[in-house]
Amino acid sequence: MTDNNAKRRSRIPRSYWGYLALMVVSLMLFSCYAFLCKDTLVSFDLKKMSIAKYAVSDTLKQDTLKTIDTLVAEEPVKDSTLSPTDSTGKVHFLLIGDSMNEYLRIRLNDYCIANGYDMYCVIWYGATTKQYGTSDTIAYFIKKHEPTYVLLTIGSNELFVRDIIEKRTDYVKHIVKQLGRTPFVWVGPPNWKDDTGINEMIVTNVGESRYFESKKLKYDRYKDGAHPTRESASMWMDSIAVYLSRDAHSPIEMTPPEQKYNKVPHTTILQMVRE
Amino acid sequence: MNFKELLYDVFVYRPEAPLLFNSFEFLVLGILVLAIYAAVYRHKRPRTLFLLAFSLFFYYKTSGIFVLLLIGTLVAVYLMTRRMSRCEGGGRKWWLAGVVAVVLGVLGYFKYANFLGENFFLIIGKEFHHWDILLPVGISFYSFQLLSYAIDVYRRELEEEKDFLDYAFYITFFPQLVAGPIVRAKSFLPQLKKDIVLNRNEIEKGFFLIMMGLFKKSILADYLSQYNDLVFANPGAYSGVETLMAIYGYAIQIYCDFSGYTDMAIGMGKMMGFDLGINFNKPYQSTSLTDFWRRWHISLSSWLRDYLYIPLGGNRKGKFRTYLNLLITMLLGGLWHGANWKFIFWGGMHGVGLIVDKLWQIITKGKLKEYRIARIVGWFITLHFVVFLWIFFRADSFATAWEIIGQVFNSFDLAYLPVFFETRKLFVLLLLLAVAIHAIPSSKFGKVERAYIRTPFLVKVVAFIILIQCILQIKSSDVQPFIYFQF
């Protein structure tokens, strides 16, 4: 009797094996899914565990990653006959860049409401041309939202990079390549000090009709000394709107809104990946 | 399949990716450990050897070469404690002093050398260049376990552990090794002497706790941290409303982060048949600061009480000494959290708060507790006192902390509130969810636990998969380290 009790007590409960099986099944499921190319489920993005890297050998991996990193985007069309609007005359903006978009997006959304456009915003905090230029983030969001007009706000986090032309030109080229045939304007950084050449480098690569030189303006800034205040960012966007309607390579109508709607557009927030 | 790289990542220490409970590598290792444990758990010696070896490997994966420091310290304490237990009178005291000197010496060198050097050079007016000293993960936690073991033996409250493997297993048991709870030898060593019984109920409760911990840490804490980090890094760029939300957000984040880790640790212990006690008991429901410290990081506050406050005299030497002892205990408790004046200030302010609380209890003779309204007011004041002090705990410096506080008062405009809710919907939703989970009374929480246990197994599988997918969906970039790893 005592032996039986002892045996029963030392037997492993079924739940122990059950949870072990649960972990194994989950691991297998997530592993299988990580190796699939498809990353959507009924139009919903499903992220994967970062284990696909184990699927390829060291030598193969570099080539594979290069392919993954370049979604065969076409060169921007120099003599553009492209329309910055869809067939109904509507503009679909993609505002993508760094933390400067926090307040720019609210004012741009006012313009969208007033003009019957729509917009999507992506904020990648702390990002530079290096992050956007070594990833396919821009191509991904273009593929996802199919904008008719892209506004880029990248550069504020690299005002003081030395030898910037040597270091960052390739990244800018890769960014431009990702834009393909989509009309775009690059909104330069609102300098709070002299830069080491970021403005010059971008304008060389995209041309004056695709570059809004924000450093010409004066700003009220938050205590960090860098970010324009909400009000100042709003005026900054007003200046960009004038440029878009008058001087841009692909001009569009940007009737000033009669009021501030204070509505926040759909936004994706990205964080810096630790290197 | 590149198995070479997979094996390298799983088995070799990588400083940029220490092994964390909420990582893919740990899931792989967890499966291996549970499978082997099932084969060895009935036999004491193989079980101890296996778990000890895995625990040391786990520490190697989080701290690399510092595993040798851990082994060296625990061997030294073991040998000295053995000698101490054979001595009487003065000799006993000297051996204890030796243990304290070794443990605090190692802790002091790795954790406080730069802090002391910096302040010394400041006093003599010379420039100080920081020494290149890395802090081994979890050193504060295992140092306190080593000390409590030696002191208990010295006080004859515990018999010295003759079996080195059992002793080493107690110190290094991987779930609690790097971030607690600080388990007492008195409650853990006896568990090793008995046959381990894997009980269905405990396994179910254990897995439930692991899931709760994962949810709190990897979803609530990690998501909230994304916004909180932005505000604390750049307070001037955010309005008063946004800053205030980040302050509340951090209070929830640190609770979910630390209690989530503890839940996982306790849950793993339960699944393997060990009881690690409890470490949190709804701390933000406290109606006084004394109550808060009975609910927050219970294993640390009870350690400080038993090995610092009471030896200093506790409340046995008059009112003034009681308050002084409280203040000293909390100042040192603050210093335990980090080598920085802001932690000492944080601890000191808690000490002052506890003194005021004790005085208030004397003035009101504790009668106010009987009134519901008084309990609500007490809860409100306690909560905001604790939340206010978290600002100093989190901010990089005193200057940043004051800037954050100034921003709340100088730039507060309720008009930003709807905009904030609109912009940070998920942040607000998760914040409210965390508050709701925390607000569940303990009795009701037991019901939730029982309901989970009764749930069909297939539903549990689906729930686990959904949980992992949710973690992947909201994860910002890399797996975020636990806040308390740094202490």
Chain A residues near residue B230 by CB distance under 8 angstroms: 125
* SS3 of residue A228 by DSSP: strand
Q: Which position has the token pair 């302040």? A: B119
Any CB–CB contact under 8 A between A24 and chain B?
yes
pLDDT interval class at A273 (50, 70, 90): very low
Any CB–CB contact under 8 A between B424 and chain A?
no
How does the average pLDDT of chain B come out, rounded? 89
Q: Classify residue A86 by its DSSP letter.
A: -
What would the pLDDT profile of B273-323 be if each residue is shown by its tens digit? 999 998 999 999 999 999 999 999 999 999 999 999 999 998 888 889 999
What would the pLDDT profile of A210-233 be if each residue is shown by its tens digit? 999 999 898 888 766 788 888 899
DSSP B310-368: TTTTTTSSHHHHHHHHHHHHHHHHHHHH-SSHHHHHHHHHHHHHHHHHHHHHHHHTTGG
Q: What is the mean pLDDT of residues A173-186?
A: 89
Nearest one of B302, B290, B283 to B351, comparing CA atoms: B290
- Range from A126-130, A165-169, A253-257, A268-272 carrying the lowest mean pLDDT: A268-272
Shortest CA gap B3–chain A (Å): 7
Q: What is the mean pLDDT of residues A98-115?
A: 91
Q: B423 and A57: CB-CB below 8 Å?
A: no
Which positions ≥6 away from A78 have C-beta within 8 Å? none
B252 pLDDT higher than 70: yes
- Chain A CA closest to residue B272: A16
Q: What is the mean pLDDT of residues B429-453?
A: 88
Respond yes or no: is residue B337 known to be catalytic: yes
Shortest CA gap B169–chain A (Å): 22
Q: B24 and A50: CB-CB below 8 Å?
A: yes
Residue A242, pLDDT score? 92
Q: A271 and B461: CB-CB below 8 Å?
A: no
B478 pLDDT higher than 90: no
- Please name the member of A13, A24, A58 whose beta carbon is closest to the beta carbon of B203: A13
pLDDT interval class at B414 (50, 70, 90): confident
- Please name the member of B24, B42, B237 whose beta carbon is closest to the beta carbon of A49: B24
Rounded to whole angstroms, what are the CA distances from A7 to A2, A109, B193, B194, B198? 9, 70, 18, 15, 12
pLDDT over 90, % of chain B: 58
The residues in B 221-240 lying below 8 A from A, measured between CB atoms, are: 226, 230, 234-238
Chain A residues near residue B469 by CB distance under 8 angstroms: 46-47
Chain A residues near residue B476 by CB distance under 8 angstroms: 270-271
The residues in B 308-347 lying below 8 A from A, measured between CB atoms, are: none
pLDDT interval class at B487 (50, 70, 90): low
State the Cα–Cα distance between residues B53 and B66, nearest whole angstrom: 15
Any CB–CB contact under 8 A between B119 and chain A?
no
State the Cα–Cα distance between residues A170 and A129, nearest whole angstrom: 9
State the Cα–Cα distance between residues B14 and A52, nearest whole angstrom: 19
What would the pLDDT profile of B38-62 be if each residue is shown by its tens digit? 989 888 899 999 999 999 999 999 8
Any CB–CB contact under 8 A between B203 and chain A?
yes
Chain A residues near residue B1 by CB distance under 8 angstroms: 54-55
Any CB–CB contact under 8 A between B464 and chain A?
yes
The CB-based long-range contact list for A136-139 (8 Å cut-off, 24+ gap) reads A136/A68, A136/A69, A136/A70, A136/A71, A136/A178, A137/A96, A137/A270, A138/A96, A138/A175, A138/A178, A138/A179, A139/A71, A139/A73, A139/A178, A139/A180
Shortest CA gap B57–chain A (Å): 21
The catalytically annotated residue of B43, B129, B297, B337 is B337
The residues in B 7-26 lying below 8 A from A, measured between CB atoms, are: 9, 16, 24
Sign of the Cα pseudo-torsion (B20, B22, B24, B26, in order): positive
Shortest CA gap B447–chain A (Å): 20
pLDDT interval class at B476 (50, 70, 90): low
- Range from A9-13, A28-32, B247-251, B294-298 carrying the lowest mean pLDDT: A9-13
State the Cα–Cα distance between residues B159 and A260, nearest whole angstrom: 74
B46: tokens are 């193989």
Chain A residues near residue B35 by CB distance under 8 angstroms: 20
State the Cα–Cα distance between residues A251 and A258, nearest whole angstrom: 21
What would the pLDDT profile of B185-226 be if each residue is shown by its tens digit? 999 999 988 888 888 889 999 999 999 999 999 899 988 988
B479 pLDDT higher than 50: no
- Please name the member of B197, B203, B235 whose beta carbon is closest to the beta carbon of A19: B203
Chain B residues near residue A26 by CB distance under 8 angstroms: 27, 461, 464-465, 468
Chain A residues near residue B198 by CB distance under 8 angstroms: 12-13, 16
**Is pLDDT larger for residue B456 or for residue B19?**
B456
Strand-pair partners of A212: A187
* SS3 of residue A45 by DSSP: strand
Any CB–CB contact under 8 A between A18 and chain B?
yes
Residue A56, pLDDT score? 42
Chain B residues near residue A49 by CB distance under 8 angstroms: 24, 472
Shortest CA gap B214–chain A (Å): 14
Q: Classify residue B159 by its DSSP letter.
A: -
Q: What is the mean pLDDT of residues B81-92?
A: 88
Residue A73, pLDDT score? 34
Sign of the Cα pseudo-torsion (B64, B66, B70, B71, in order): positive
State the Cα–Cα distance between residues A262 and A266, nearest whole angstrom: 13
Residue A83, pLDDT score? 74
Q: What is the mean pLDDT of residues B369-379?
A: 89
State the Cα–Cα distance between residues B460 and A176, nearest whole angstrom: 47
Q: B468 and A26: CB-CB below 8 Å?
A: yes
The pTM of the full predicted model, rounded to 2 decimals, is: 0.72
- Range from A67-71, A87-91, A189-193, B418-422 carrying the lowest mean pLDDT: A67-71
Q: Do B59 and B106 touch, CB atoms closer than 8 A?
A: no
Q: B27 and A25: CB-CB below 8 Å?
A: no
- Please name the member of B24, B197, B238 whose beta carbon is closest to the beta carbon of A51: B24
Residue A161, pLDDT score? 78
Q: What is the mean pLDDT of residues B141-149?
A: 94
Strand-pair partners of A270: A124
State the Cα–Cα distance between residues B224 and B220, nearest whole angstrom: 6
A264 pLDDT higher than 60: yes
B486 pLDDT higher than 80: no
Q: What is the mean pLDDT of residues B13-24?
A: 76
Residue B318, pLDDT score? 87
Chain A residues near residue B222 by CB distance under 8 angstroms: none
- Range from A43-57, A79-93, B4-18 carrying the lowest mean pLDDT: A43-57
pLDDT interval class at B328 (50, 70, 90): very high
Q: What is the mean pLDDT of residues A148-176?
A: 88
Residue B441, pLDDT score? 83
- Chain B CA closest to residue A263: B419
